[in-house]
Structure 1
Amino acid sequence: MLARWKDFFDTVESKPLTPEQRLSIVVDEDATLVLAGAGSGKTSVITAKAAYLLKAGIRPAEQILLLAFAKDAATEMSERIEARCGMPIEARTFHALAYDIIGKVEGSKPALAPHATDDTAFLDLIRDILRDLVSTVRDVARAIVAWFAHFLVPAPEEQDFETKHEWYSAVEKLDLRTLQGEQVKSFEELEIANWLYENGIDYEYEPTYEHSVSTEGRRDYTPDFRLKESGVYIEHFGVRRKRGPDGKDVLTTAPYVDRDEYLAGMDWKRQVHAEHGTTLIETFSYERSEDRLLEALEEKLAPHVTLNPRPLSTIFDRVVEMGQVDAFSRMLGTFVRQFKSGGYQIGACTDKAERLKMGRRGRAFLAIFEPVYAEYESRLGDRIDFEDMVLRAATYVEERRYESPFRHILVDEFQDISQGRARLIRALKAQHADARIFAVGDDWQSIYRFAGSDIHIMRNFGAMFGGSFADEKAVHRTVDLGRTFRSVDRIALAARRFVLQNPAQITKRVVPAGVAPDPAIRVVWTRRDEGDGQLRQVLSGLAALPAPMDRKTSVLLLGRYRFVDPGLRDLQRAFPQLSFSYKTIHSSKGLEADHVVLLGADAGRVGFPSEITDDPLLSLVSPEAEPFENAEERRVMYVAMTRARATLTILASRSRPSAFVSELLADPEYGLKDSTAGTAPLPPCSKCGGQLVPVQSQAGRIWYRCQHDRHCGNMLPACPDCATGLPQRKGDMGHECDSCSGQFRSCPVCGDGWLVPRKGRYGAFLGCVRYPDCSGKAKPGPAA
């Protein structure tokens, strides 16, 4: 067949089809899965397949079902097929097919809900339901407010981390921000702060203690909380307890914490309050692990404060103001769609949450979801949404109330298939023994879980759609297109390596579009408030590169979120030789450009990878869990990387880089170029194991501040000789600056700092640069 149809394959598209594309078209198994990576010409394959079936007389047009996910894609395929073979064929969306099936069985088509095919309207509806439930159903309102106050983010346990750096990184990713608006340092502090806010108790977070506490080597004392009206202080101590050999309780700390030093600090704080007659309330990590932190806090505060709970609607308005409702509505909407599409029940989800040990957070979420879902279904009334439409159509096909004329079912973008759509396709195929499924997709680009897609369907393609032969089941054929017509080798192969770090992704080979003589992916570091300037420097470099012969150089700016948009008008004015566009990564799918610039590749809850998209709760409505961390976000990154033909530039925060950026830079096999290559690596922070990042003060001085500045607080001045480098300890030789080779005596107390001349009441002396954190000093003159 390949030889017989050679002329057709040479001319059906503007360029001859590749050997892999031709093979995928002539293969005619019960079920054929075509693995079409980014830029591999999947649209050419699916349109050529339909044209081939028609031209070869294998099927008449009315027996071919061509399915696309979007109306525009369906229209484009219909037009291309007719242009290639002169025969009309209608490509349909799943929505149009399901609606037609329902109409033929019922005699009329039920009214569609306004949000049935509009994601924005759907999310608006979910938000409206949440707000209305807060206003009308008190028990549900309490559950919703409790969610935002205490369960919004999954809380890892501090004791499970081996280093301060790991713990600080985990906390920073989740951006622990209270209902009052401040950022706190632990989940337990977040719970306490939000409980105080909920109960109308005005507080200050980490205020300076009202009495002067003069202790050499200590910073000013800042208790965790001070209650404004009563003056009561609250200190939360990160200790757990276990039973000792003598039967008494023993306090323990996280592995990276010096237990004796921490306990001494607790005693010092108690002594300070006792000496100055201030009231101290203590809370402990073990109270949270015993599920009684807030109850214990209420009991301890009872003699000192009167609770004045804020109205639930007021708290909800505050949550809306902070922008937390939108993200939660999106996650809740994803859950609604997958719940309906997969035919799940609340009881089964509850049981699964218990099996997966989701604890109080799982129960808190389902306590919201159940009334939200009931209200959602109530508002549908006699109308149907997309999930209803597909499931009702699938039922009619399964019951043979609808007789399928289709013998070849061709599905585009198969990685976006949902449980309901898969059920409909299986039902259509089951009506005819000779029916065929031809699916084209790329599991590496499965990034629409929020719209109901389920990647496990593609991974289990043979089991779900394959045929039977000679006592074998799940018989199917997989064809790997392999060749990309878009990206050069240093992008295409790096993207492949990156996405395959998740072993659950289907392995595919990649043949790049060309060979790049130089690194094609680079990281450019940004500092706070410097992103725009760094972007313009990058664009200046791209503008200086040779342009294509017949057009402007195209530059696609990508962001994980809409708010990353830098504004194109000024950029276009500044760089008229470039052609710009900005897209979120999700909306860029199918696009390409000469150069791609990825913006905002930073760590954080709304960073990249997003800490919202892969919420563990979504596994309750998925037949299989995706245990690999940031599984879907990794595929989003793959999509971003593979939009580029020639170069990819990633802009990332120097102090809080995306985990993906750190991973790409750590492995030389990716071949990335670091914008700081050739300069000294960032020095380590001796206090927590993070990195010290150079920052410039308002006075123009350079300081080296720990990347975890909110938690660690370690900071060292730049070298006093060159004012740019950082002196570091060189064993017993003292400190030496790598930039200017300046040499200094090491601090005899902390060892991390070095000694500089100072003057005191008794004359000149040498003091540690880390004062007041360190009180190390020595007499002037050569080291002893």
Structure 2
Amino acid sequence: MNRLQQRHLLGLLANPLGNSARVFELSGTNVLITKRGQISTISLEDLASPPSVEKGIFGATAILSMSGRREILLRGARFADARLFSDTVKSAWIDFNLQALEREADRLAVLHSEILNLARPTAYPAACVITPVLNDALALEASLLSKLNPDAIGPEAAACVERIRNFALNPKAIRSAAIATYVTTELERWKDFFDTIESKPLTAEQRLSVVVDEDATLVLAGAGSGKTSVITAKAAYLVKAEIRKPDEILLLAFAKNAAAEMSERVEARSGVPIVARTFHALAYDIIGLVEGSKPALADHATDDLAFINLIKQILKDLVQTLTEVSRGIIQWFAHFLVEPKTEWDFTSKHAYYSHLEKQDLRTLQGEKVKSYEELQIANWLYENGIEYEYEPDYEHKIKATGRRDYCPDFRLTESGVYIEHFGVRRQKLPDGTERLMTAPFVDRDEYLAGMEWKRKVHAEHETTLVETYSYEQQEGRLLASLEAKLAPHVTLKPLPADMIFDRVIELKQVDTFSQLLGTFLRKFKSGGYSLADCDAKSERMKLGKRSDAFLAVFAPVFAEYQKRLGGRIDFEDMILRAAHYAETGRYVSPFRHILVDEFQDISQSRARLVKALKGQNPNARLFAVGDDWQSIFRFAGSDIHLMRYFGSEFGGIFAGESGVHRAVDLGRTFRSVDQIAFAARTFVLKNPAQIAKQIVPAGTTTEPAIKIRMVAKDEDQRALGDVLHEISAKIDPAQTVAVLLLGRYRFLEPDMRDLQRRYPRLRIAYKTIHASKGLEADHVILLNVDSGRTGFPSETVDDPLLSLVSPEAEAFENAEERRVMYVAMTRARHTLTMMASKSRPSSFITELINDPAYAVAGAAEGEARPHECGECGGRLLDVRGQDGRIRYRCEHVQHCGNLLPACPSCGAGLPRHADGTASLTCRCSTTFPTCPDCKDGWLTERSGRYGAFLSCVRYPVCSGKAKITTVSSGPRLMNLKR
């Protein structure tokens, strides 16, 4: 029966409002529905189940169940008619489903087989392999499977459909189970291979990293964990397991020697001839294939000195030929060479002085000044041909005042005018008036009193004083204001730009700037930046006028550099051009597996090339081996974020999840004993942004493995000899051991020929820490772990301008320097000795000594805890004078000048405040009365015009005093007064 109609009388009783249908009619594969005179159509495909029939008081109700639990009812029908119609539609519905199933039979069979194979996978179920299967399952689920009823298709077809639907609904769980099954089977299958591919069987972690074959796989290979073994085994496994052909595998390294070593090792260990290449060699080959020939390489591309000399020559030529550009270049050297920070940017003297010591505040005339604002004034005077003296003795002798001799900031030699620059700013008060303020760490009342005293001196001696103020610099009118104030006294005679530039060359300031320009240029090119990008980032980072001045010079320098390249290319061009050809398809990549060594050193441009090669083939995989703990080449463009966010950068997509990848931690180190391995791990993980890894050391030791040797001034060579003698004395006479001397800088290298002659049983080598990557030795000696500009951690930080073309800076202080220290520590197999200045050890040494977790030995108690300077918050360092006496001097000697004698009782210690007491006590237990005026001084007895009295040992810098009184029946007492 193809038609079911509501009976008239029953319809009136069952459906008085006409809400339900009046007629159902089967027409081919559709059901026509008449309701309130309107006819609508539904397909059999839309039925979730065959029609059902229910008996009622007023006749039968036929129900059509749709997807989404929607129902269409026809009330008031004869039960027999409704039953017959239901059977007819059911039969049509089953036929419809079976026909639909038959149309997709081949597709279903293939899909079912692929899903069934996931229970016993014969290849790694990578996201890129399983995603097409999942996409097909999801498409079938939406178009067909979700609409099929098991009753309509039979049990065998229903089981097939159910398996496919289950996979579509639970793809992640099924893929994870498949991966686990495959890995277990494969590890057992290739056990003999893993046992014999290297001289020692691979560890469980190494085997796992070889078998895992995700879209992107990151092997976290800590220092000495056998990363080369992993890459060798991976390449051999891919070929031997017939996963890839040799020419489908790309082995990439960063250095020529590393690539050559990798090629030799792969072939020697596995018999598989796979040639490893550097990124530049690969890029050069790609360019040659696309363009038909390889463009010549610029002469300076492989010669850093030639590159910097080219930049210097470009600067010189621009000064001589382009007026606007020459003016910008001179303005840079005169006013923007250093960061424009003043004391107002700091909250303590110590922080401000530390900043000043990292800068070279040297004027165009050649002297060093004490602030950025003084530098501006001095260079303006020089630019305008006004001869001056910096901090000369005042021409009149001032009567004894307890002060140091008066030395004004500047004296103009021709006019005799003095210039004093005062570090004060204006603060508006609620009543509208203003008052002068000093920097946060400066005593305002004392400073303002000093200003008045200087004015009074000039007034009394009738000398001309011109005053400038920090608030003028803050308001952007310091130099304009100075020009107006000097107008009655001097005539400006501006020097030619080329003369000033010659002076810059003479001061070697052009060398530093050329280095900055060269580094910026290379990073600018390799990162694919534009000047607009730099402008936008400068504005975002609020780098201000200095950034504008730099970019105004860089733009013409870069344009001229590109012009002088002519038809040649540099290394930055190589990578970017090759990446472009891969991205646009002009180069067709044959590679299905890309294996990258030292992945922590990858830059944005190299990452772009890797992504382009990988992106050409949906089945291509990336296998990266690296250690973010050893990422120490940010200055050369490496971007640690590419490793930290490896998944989002290189991972695949599966089941709606992006960034799909696998990370394997090798864990075991074959190099360092437990004390060194664990200490290095603890040290580097102080930075929470580093990827945490477990470490299994190469062995254990009960002897101290990390030692710190504190070295007195000028005794570095003797101390080094002592350490080498100790090592040599402990080895068997017939043996030799390797000793690696490490330094943060090249200039720290000692006389190696002399050392080798003196210690013939030691194989001694020197390397900078950066050059020591991949090396190891029985014993490592780390030299000059001191504080200072060329200390370790290095305080010669990258110029902030480089952040315009660099990965985002890390928030953790000394993040990269901490990784440099990790690299140094993990070169050692058995012992690590760090040599640090007794008077100025680095913050790293202080940390290693103060934290028991590092278990270091060899530093005397208290040696790494210098006293704090009460004047500025820096450190008081013990120094021995020519007279043999020890004094304690502030580390910021050029700025602070705090100087204290050693304890007069023991001649070595420094009296300090004991907890809860007002007196000062030395470590020899001698106690002294505290100076009432300063934090560090104590009172000592002196003789004066009116007899004995007590005064501060820091006199005349500090004028703290006290009277001496006596009591007839008691000891001498003090009456302190300021």
Coarse TM-score class (shorter-chain normalised): over 0.9
Q: Which amino acid aligns with 1:113?
A: A
**Contact 1:175/1:605 (CA < 8 Å) preserved in 2?**
no
Matched residue SS, 1:779: strand
Structure 2 match to 1:649: 833
Q: Which amino acid aligns with 1:482?
A: G
**CA distance in 2: counterparts of 1:158 and 1:654, whole angstroms:** 30
Residue 619 (str. 1) matches residue 803 (str. 2): yes
Equivalent position to 1:198, from 369, 383, 402: 383
Residue 774 (str. 1) matches residue 958 (str. 2): yes
Structure 1 match to 2:158: none
CA separation of 1:641/1:329 partners in 2, compared to 1, >3 Å: closer, same or farther?
Answer: farther
**CA distance in 2: counterparts of 1:132 and 1:538, whole angstroms:** 52
Equivalent position to 1:566, from 731, 750, 755: 750
CA separation of 1:145/1:447 partners in 2, compared to 1, >3 Å: closer, same or farther?
Answer: farther
**CA distance in 2: counterparts of 1:574 and 1:303, whole angstroms:** 70
Structure 2 match to 1:726: 910
**Contact 1:619/1:626 (CA < 8 Å) preserved in 2?**
no
Mean alpha-carbon deviation: is it higher for 481-490 or for 357-366? Answer: 481-490
Residue 429 (str. 1) matches residue 429 (str. 2): no
Mean alpha-carbon deviation: is it higher for 375-384 or for 549-558? Answer: 549-558
Q: Which amino acid aligns with 1:702?
A: I
**CA distance in 2: counterparts of 1:90 and 1:550, whole angstroms:** 41
CA separation of 1:746/1:430 partners in 2, compared to 1, >3 Å: closer, same or farther?
Answer: closer
Q: Name stretches of at least 5 consecutive residues in structure 2 with no aligned partner.
A: 1-185, 967-971
Equivalent position to 1:36, from 215, 221, 224: 221
Q: Which amino acid aligns with 1:783?
A: L
**Contact 2:840/2:877 (CA < 8 Å) preserved in 1?**
no
CA separation of 1:741/1:472 partners in 2, compared to 1, >3 Å: closer, same or farther?
Answer: closer
Structure 1 match to 2:449: 264
Equivalent position to 1:336, from 514, 521, 528: 521
CA separation of 1:458/1:117 partners in 2, compared to 1, >3 Å: closer, same or farther?
Answer: farther
Equivalent position to 1:6, from 183, 191, 194: 191
Equivalent position to 1:92, from 277, 280, 295: 277
TM alignment of 1:53-64, pairs within 5 A = 53-64=238-249
Q: Which amino acid aligns with 2:760?
A: P
Q: Which amino acid aligns with 2:379?
A: N
Equivalent position to 1:129, from 314, 320, 337: 314
CA separation of 1:481/1:308 partners in 2, compared to 1, >3 Å: closer, same or farther?
Answer: farther
> CA-to-partner distance for each residue in 1:82-122, whole Å, 9 max, x for gaps?
11112211111122212222222222222221233444443
Q: Which amino acid aligns with 1:201?
A: I
Deviation at 1:23, TM superposition (A): 0.7
**CA distance in 2: counterparts of 1:322 and 1:256, whole angstroms:** 33
Deviation at 1:674, TM superposition (A): 6.3
Residue 556 (str. 1) matches residue 740 (str. 2): yes
TM alignment of 1:537-548, pairs within 5 A = 537-544=722-729, 546-547=730-731
> CA-to-partner distance for each residue in 1:265-294, whole Å, 9 max, x for gaps?
111111112112222222222222222222
**Contact 1:685/1:714 (CA < 8 Å) preserved in 2?**
yes
Q: Which amino acid aligns with 1:364?
A: A
Mean alpha-carbon deviation: is it higher for 774-783 or for 278-287? Answer: 774-783
CA separation of 1:728/1:85 partners in 2, compared to 1, >3 Å: closer, same or farther?
Answer: closer
Residue 675 (str. 1) matches residue 865 (str. 2): no
Mean alpha-carbon deviation: is it higher for 513-522 or for 437-446? Answer: 513-522
Deviation at 1:324, TM superposition (A): 4.0
Compute the TM-score of the two structures, normalised by the length of structure 1.
0.93
Structure 1 match to 2:572: 387
Residue 759 (str. 1) matches residue 960 (str. 2): no
Deviation at 1:147, TM superposition (A): 2.7
**CA distance in 1: counterparts of 2:369 and 2:710, whole angstroms:** 26
Q: Name stretches of at least 5 consecutive residues in structure 1 with no aligned partner.
A: none
**CA distance in 2: counterparts of 1:139 and 1:389, whole angstroms:** 33
Equivalent position to 1:599, from 778, 783, 789: 783
Mean alpha-carbon deviation: is it higher for 667-676 or for 489-498? Answer: 667-676
TM alignment of 1:208-357, pairs within 5 A = 208-357=393-542
**Contact 1:734/1:743 (CA < 8 Å) preserved in 2?**
no
Matched residue SS, 1:2: helix
**Contact 1:61/1:88 (CA < 8 Å) preserved in 2?**
yes
Percentage of identical aligned residues: 67
Q: Which amino acid aligns with 2:289?
A: K
Residue 632 (str. 1) matches residue 822 (str. 2): no
TM alignment of 1:325-724, pairs within 5 A = 325-526=510-711, 528-544=713-729, 546-547=730-731, 551-622=735-806, 624-673=808-857, 675-677=859-861, 681-724=865-908
State the superposition RMSD in angstroms.
2.7
Q: Which amino acid aligns with 1:96?
A: A
**CA distance in 1: counterparts of 2:915 and 2:771, whole angstroms:** 54
**Contact 2:647/2:659 (CA < 8 Å) preserved in 1?**
yes
Deviation at 1:653, TM superposition (A): 4.0
**CA distance in 1: counterparts of 2:710 and 2:962, whole angstroms:** 37
Structure 1 match to 2:178: none
CA separation of 1:105/1:767 partners in 2, compared to 1, >3 Å: closer, same or farther?
Answer: closer
> CA-to-partner distance for each residue in 1:35-83, whole Å, 9 max, x for gaps?
1122221111111111111222221111111111111111111111111
**Contact 1:719/1:726 (CA < 8 Å) preserved in 2?**
yes
**CA distance in 1: counterparts of 2:510 and 2:775, whole angstroms:** 31
CA separation of 1:612/1:268 partners in 2, compared to 1, >3 Å: closer, same or farther?
Answer: same
**Contact 1:753/1:768 (CA < 8 Å) preserved in 2?**
yes
Matched residue SS, 2:301: coil
**CA distance in 2: counterparts of 1:592 and 1:715, whole angstroms:** 44
Matched residue SS, 1:116: helix
**CA distance in 2: counterparts of 1:167 and 1:521, whole angstroms:** 34
**Contact 1:33/1:477 (CA < 8 Å) preserved in 2?**
yes
Residue 144 (str. 1) matches residue 334 (str. 2): no
Compute the TM-score of the two structures, normalised by the length of structure 2.
0.75
Matched residue SS, 1:783: strand
**CA distance in 1: counterparts of 2:701 and 2:489, whole angstroms:** 70
Q: Which amino acid aligns with 2:779?
A: H
Structure 1 match to 2:268: 83
Q: Which amino acid aligns with 2:938?
A: W
Matched residue SS, 2:402: coil
CA separation of 1:473/1:555 partners in 2, compared to 1, >3 Å: closer, same or farther?
Answer: same
Mean alpha-carbon deviation: is it higher for 50-59 or for 192-201? Answer: 192-201
Matched residue SS, 2:878: strand
Matched residue SS, 2:187: coil
Structure 1 match to 2:973: 783
**CA distance in 2: counterparts of 1:226 and 1:673, whole angstroms:** 55
Deviation at 1:24, TM superposition (A): 0.6
**CA distance in 1: counterparts of 2:239 and 2:232, whole angstroms:** 11
**CA distance in 2: counterparts of 1:14 and 1:295, whole angstroms:** 75
Residue 169 (str. 1) matches residue 354 (str. 2): yes
Deviation at 1:335, TM superposition (A): 2.2
Larger radius of gyration: 2
CA separation of 1:580/1:502 partners in 2, compared to 1, >3 Å: closer, same or farther?
Answer: same
> CA-to-partner distance for each residue in 1:673-706, whole Å, 9 max, x for gaps?
4634256943332222223222122222221112
Residue 110 (str. 1) matches residue 298 (str. 2): no
**CA distance in 2: counterparts of 1:662 and 1:312, whole angstroms:** 48
Matched residue SS, 2:259: helix
**CA distance in 2: counterparts of 1:411 and 1:404, whole angstroms:** 16
**CA distance in 2: counterparts of 1:135 and 1:194, whole angstroms:** 21
Higher relative contact order (CA 8 A, sep 6+): 1
Deviation at 1:537, TM superposition (A): 3.8
**CA distance in 1: counterparts of 2:721 and 2:354, whole angstroms:** 30
Mean alpha-carbon deviation: is it higher for 606-615 or for 475-484? Answer: 606-615
**Contact 2:735/2:761 (CA < 8 Å) preserved in 1?**
no
**Contact 2:870/2:935 (CA < 8 Å) preserved in 1?**
no
